Every structure is written in structure tokens, then in C-alpha cells.
A and B are shown apart, each in its own frame.
Chain A
């Protein structure tokens, strides 16, 4: 697992603390070249692991990464899906069935559409939700074809919904599908890490990979900092920390010192908009984590996960 992963929320006008900051970011990164400039800065600083949401811009970003294999020879991607707003807006406009059909068939060749029809039935109406979920995951993953993917994350808007609903078989089905079809680790983003870790372990997902907000301010940490710290101390899982700066609410030195002191943190995911900021955060992390190896007990890989990275070209041709 990469210790430092570069996140992408800032490119899509997301800032949890300020709508003004979010607007500034949306304007600054309207052109994908501006995004690629920052990704290049991160890559050149030695951060070769990127977490990418399946936002509309992901297609262009991945196209560029694919077109320059030598420039990004050591690239490792951690896709996070789905980008929920595009679904919510489409369902508002078209109703759920037509919106789902659009997503399943958009951008497909006739052959691919035919294969989906065979697998999905003529309409999603008669299908089980697990089948629909697999089709949607595969539709979202098409954008990452031919790129090195290390793990595939379920976005918190969906994973926390399933957690709250108690739909354990759907969480397990997602995990099984990622392992079976892509040969990589399934991951779960969450705003409710203690409950999520317990639920995943109850589902039979061993040593789960869980990415959650972890920051000194306790922001986006439900039910609270105490429960997070206890879970990190006592549960066997792989923790990834995001929102470590709480959207700028905590000063970087203090923020990184806090998160790096905690037990069982495998990786820190952070977003930044400039090379200076990237270098600052990376320097702070390396100061606290000088060793390349994780600070916790040895990690047991998820069963059936393929070693190394998956070539999604090969995988998707068989599905």
C-alpha cells in the first residue's frame, strides 16, 4: 500500500469548509491541463499514487495518463466510485430506470452494448440489485482501462448508505466483484469508520481497506475522535486517512503530526493545488514516517487479491 496518495477533490470544486474556496478551485481547475499540471508536480515530487473519482474529468485525465506511459511508468491509481452527483442529477431528469440504462450504455460500442444486454437483460427492472451494481461498477471502471490500478474504492455516499441500511450482502458483493473482476483490493470510503470497520469484518471481509477522514478537529469523523482512535488501536484493518487538514481548518504541521502519531495508519491521502503545498505536506509526512514500511503490524493481504497491479485492458476484455 502506498504511504502517500494524492487526492483529487480539489480539482472538482470540493471544499468542505468554504463555498468561496470551492468556487475558486472550480475556476482554477476548469481546464484539465491545470489539473494535469498539479498531478505532474505531485508525480515529480515522488508521489506516484493518485486517488481518482469518476468525475467527468477523469476520462480526460486517464486519457492523458494512458497516452504517456513512459512519463507515468510508475503510476498507481486508486479509483473511487461512483461520482454520485451525476447519478442524482440524471435520476432527477429521467427517472431511475432510464438514467441507469443511460449509464450502462453510454459510450459503448455496439458489441459492448450487446454484451451488456446479454448480461444485464433487456432492462434492469428484472435484475437483482447485485447484478445492477456489478454492471454499474464495470461501466465506471471503463475509464481506467489500461492503467495500473491498486485498489478500487466505493465512495462514502454509497458505502455509508449501505452501512446504514445494513445491506451487508451488497458491501460483500462489491468487495467480491472487485477481487474477482479486477484482481485488486476493494476499498471503502466512509464518514463512519468505526461502524464501517466492524460491519466489514462482520461481513467476512478480512483486514479491510478503509479510507476515512482522520483529523485532529474531529471533522467528518462520526461518531467521534475517541471511537476512531480506539478502532485504530484495537481492530485489524488497513486504515487510510483523508481530510487530514480538515479542508484547511488545521495548520499542516499540527495536522500531519497528529495523524502520523496514530497507530495503524497505512496511508495518508491529501489534496493540494500547488507544488509548494505538495512539497510541504510530503516533507511533513516523511519527517514523521521516515521508514518506507507501514508503522503498524504486518499486513495480511485480502484473500484472492492479485499481486501487484492489474491491467484493466486484459480484465475488461474477459468480462
Chain B
């Protein structure tokens, strides 16, 4: 039986708790949160010891692993504490707010045998796993260009009551929302060498951006566009659209389906020349427990399987997440440069 603790009992902490707790081989014995309302109800209804201080929790509770689901600014301190004690760590995305901090954590895990994972859940999405297979098999040939769009109705008004409106807490569309799209690009295509033409803009927020765009450049003339907006009232929930053009075809994917065009027979998954369409119902593998999406359970089961030696780690590790943090920092740098240019033009 693995014993786990959760630091931060907001929306993601609660989701992770429910999914992990539903496993017969895992027991969540400690939860840490700063709100007394949350702590009181954890103790009363979940019969789990509630802490207000994560250091005390890690010291007193005899844990094998920890899930860090606090606002992003607190990830590093909590993860450091866990790694120092030799605990396996699952940290919500993004890993930290700057690549130097992420690389410090990476150095720590390099010196230990701890399993480390970051909650880039789209790496466990049925459709995007299929798209990754097709790209890796070069089913559409050498890539020419791609675009990644992500939209959602997350912020449709003034957000002063939430940490999402505070950039130094990890709020803002880039860290809190677009990091998923950046990581998905890294996963599907690879880490861009350069980021140019980035623009960060507020829509409703006062201190952080609500929308952004950027161009990613790679060796060999490959380029990609990123467009993200979390203030789009036309969406019911966050949605993704990835479109990749290769010399031998095209793939257009979202969370539920993909369409693919091939110039010739691609010789994979029964796909044929011309247009093909596959829905999630065609290939979704059953999972033991469903909450919010297949990918949420799949990512945590993978984490546990890695701890118990049934799977090889690396799908969404601190190392891949540090690469994502690096791209995020490059987007910020490019946006700052664009802003200086705007001032110069004005």
C-alpha cells in the first residue's frame, strides 16, 4: 500500500485526491491546505489528517509520495521539501515560474531515485497520443508548419478575487492556461529553438494577460503558430485544435477526434490515402475510474505504475516540464521585445 499526501486542496487537488483514493493500492493519509474551511471539512468528511503547513505534514506523516497542487508560485518550495525527504513527487503544471527554479528541481531529482511527474495531462489524452504516434511514424512526412490553438471561457470578467489575476502567484493566461498548449507542442513536435513575435494582451484582467500569440521556429525551416485565449465566451470548456502540415499530408486534431489527409497510403492504423476521420470512440481504452476525462486517471495511474516499477518514467517528467518552462520564458522575452518595438514605433 502506497501512502500519499496532497498539498493544495483546490480544484486539481480534489480531483487528484478522488482519483488516487479510488485505487485499492493507494491510501491518501494527509492533506495540506491554507483554508480553515477546507481543513475542517477534510477532517470531518474524508477522515484524513489535515495540515496547514506542508513542512509539518511532510515531517509528521509517513508518506511515499506527494501531490503538489498549490498556486504555481508555491510549487518549488513544496517540491523541494518533498524531494529532500526522498518522496516521489507529482506537481501540477507549470512546474515553476522560471526555468532556473525548474532546473534546480531537476538537479535534485537527478541525485535521487524519486519518480517525478508534472500534470501536463494532455500527454495522456487518447487523441493526442494517437497523433503523436502518427507524427513519430512520419505518417505525414517531414513537417512544414503547424498551428496550435487553445480557447476557453476561464476568465470572462474581473478576476481580482482569485490568484489567477496575480502574475507573481502564477496567474495569467500564459502560465496557468497556455502552458498546456506549449507543452503539447513540445510533446508532439519538439522544443522550438526560437520564439519570435510573441504578443501578450489583457481582455478583462488588469495585471495579467488573457490572450497571447507567438511564432515558434525550428531547424530545417519548420515553424509553428501558437494562439491562446482564455477569455472566449463562445466556448463551453477549454478546447484545443492542433493542425500540422507535412510534405505527405495533414493532421487536424482536437480532444475528441482527428482528421488526417495522406498523399499516399500511410501504412499505419488502417488509415488510407486521402481524408480519414477517427473519433475518440474508435480507440479510447477503458479506464478503471472516470473523473473529468480519461486522461486525468491515466496520468495518475502512470505515476503510481512508475513508483511501483510497472512503467518507465519520462512521459511528463520534471525534465520535459523544465523545457516547457524554458519556452514560456522565451515567449515572455519575445513579448517584452515586441513591446519595446511598439513603443519605439509610437
Interface residues of A (CB under 8 A from B): 12-20, 22, 26, 85, 88-89, 91-98, 124-126, 128-130, 157, 160-167, 169-170, 191-192, 195, 217-224, 246-247, 249
Contacts and interface: CB of A to CB of B under 8 A. Distances in A.
Given A164-B291, A191-B290, A221-B286, 17 more contacts: A15-B256, A16-B256, A17-B280, A20-B257, A93-B158, A94-B162, A97-B37, A124-B37, A126-B37, A130-B45, A160-B289, A164-B289, A166-B21, A166-B46, A167-B45, A192-B290, A222-B290
B211 interface: no
A160 B256 contact: no
B103 interface: no
A160 B156 contact: no
Interface stretch (B10-18, B60-68, B112-120, B338-346): B10-18
Nearest to B157: A93
Contact of A170 (B21, B45, B257): B45
Interface SS of A by simple majority: helix
Interface centre among B36, B239, B287, B289 (most CB of A within 10 A): B289
B236 to A, nearest CB: 5
A167 B155 CA distance: 30
Nearest to B297: A222
B154 interface: yes
B156 A161 contact: no
Contacts of B336: none
Given A220-B290, A246-B281, A164 B256 contact: no
A128 B17 CA distance: 20
B162 A92 contact: yes
A124 B155 CA distance: 24
Contact of A164 (B18, B35, B280): B18
B286 A195 contact: no
B56 interface: no
Interface in B264-285: 279-282, 284
Nearest to B19: A164
B292 interface: yes
A19 B254 contact: yes
Contacts of A157: 291-292
B237 interface: yes
B111 interface: no
Contacts of A220: 290
B329 interface: no
Contact of B236 (A13, A91, A222): A13
Interface string B19-42: 101100000000000011100110
B153 interface: yes
Interface of B: 10-11, 14-15, 17-19, 21-22, 35-37, 40-41, 44-47, 153-159, 161-162, 164, 236-237, 239, 254-257, 279-282, 284, 286-292
Contacts of B236: 12-14, 22, 26, 85
Given A169-B45, A217-B281, A161 B18 contact: yes
B237 A195 contact: no
Contacts of B279: 17-18, 249
A222 B14 contact: no
The 5 closest A-B pairs by CB, nearest first: A164-B18, A249-B281, A191-B290, A95-B161, A94-B161
A219 B284 contact: yes
A98 B257 contact: no
A261 B166 CA distance: 56
A218 B282 CA distance: 11
B45 A93 contact: no
A97 B254 CA distance: 34
Contacts of B281: 16-17, 217, 219, 246-247, 249
11 contacts: A18-B256, A93-B158, A93-B162, A160-B291, A161-B15, A164-B19, A164-B22, A165-B17, A166-B47, A192-B289, A217-B281
B160 to A, nearest CB: 8
B11 A17 contact: no
Contact of A93 (B35, B40, B156, B256): B156
A152 B256 CA distance: 30
Interface centre among A20, A164, A217, A219 (most CB of B within 10 A): A164
A271 B10 CA distance: 33
A106 to B, nearest CB: 14
Given A18-B257, A19-B254, A89-B156, A165 B292 contact: no
A193 B240 CA distance: 29
B280 A222 contact: no
Contacts of A89: 153-154, 156
Contacts of A223: 286-289
Nearest to B279: A17
A169 B47 CA distance: 11
Nearest to A221: B286
Contacts of A161: 14-15, 18, 291
Nearest to B177: A92
Contacts of A125: 36-37
A154 B36 CA distance: 26
A130 B45 CA distance: 9
